[in-house]
Amino acid sequence: VAAALAPLRLRGIHILNCIDDWLILAQLEHMAVQHRDVVLAHMKELGVETERQEETTYLGAVWDSTTMQARLSPARIESILTAVTRVKEGRSLTVKQFQRLLGLMAAASSVIPFGLLYMRPLQGNPSRMIKVTRRCLRALDMWKKPWFL
């Protein structure tokens, strides 16, 4: 895939790819249309069949090429709602559950206006000091070794 995308990227076309899904990024609508045509012609030259869609789901977002807007996919909405409903006052969550919720929210923030702003209260006070424990230091041991990195 990287070899197929290289000539396009050299021409200044920005493409995100995940397996067989490609998303063309452009700042202006006419550029997106122009880049789309170049990409489709390139794919045809390579003998790759393409499927034209007005809407495509890519990494949890539905991208609509007619309205030039993005929204969360139904599956991503369901994932977020499920994670949020697990949060109840006075109950405990595993760190993994809370990290998953924050990850889903951060990923969704690209299509939700002010999404990151509404995450801030959940992230706590980033200036707050925390005590480093022996357990924490042991967990960091491998990360101190250049050969590990």
Q: What is the pLDDT of residue 149?
A: 65
Asked whether residue 63 is domain-assigned, the answer is: no
Task: Indicate the pLDDT class of residue 72, thresholds 50, 70 and 90.
Answer: very high
Q: Say yes or no: 46 and 83 in one domain.
A: no
Q: What is the pLDDT of residue 74?
A: 94
Range of weakest confidence among 33-42, 104-113, 114-123: 114-123
Q: Say yes or no: 85 and 142 in one domain.
A: yes
Asked whether residue 66 is domain-assigned, the answer is: no
Cβ-contact 28, 36 below 8 angstroms: no
CA 87 – CA 97 distance, rounded (Å) = 9
Q: Say yes or no: 17 and 78 in one domain.
A: no
Q: How many residues does the chain have?
A: 149
Asked whether residue 68 is domain-assigned, the answer is: no
Which residue has 């495509």 as its token pair?
56
| Number of structural domains in the chain | 2
Q: What is the pLDDT of residue 80?
A: 93
Q: Say yes or no: 148 and 78 in one domain.
A: yes
Asked whether residue 61 is domain-assigned, the answer is: no
27 is in which domain, residue-wise? Answer: 2-52
Closest CA to 109 of 72, 81, 82, 78: 72
CA 51 – CA 65 distance, rounded (Å) = 14
Top-confidence range, 12-21, 33-42, 86-95, 131-140: 33-42
Q: Say yes or no: 78 and 45 in one domain.
A: no
**How is 88-115 classified by DSSP, letter by letter?**
-TT----HHHHHHHHHHHHHHTTTSTTH
Q: Say yes or no: 40 and 88 in one domain.
A: no
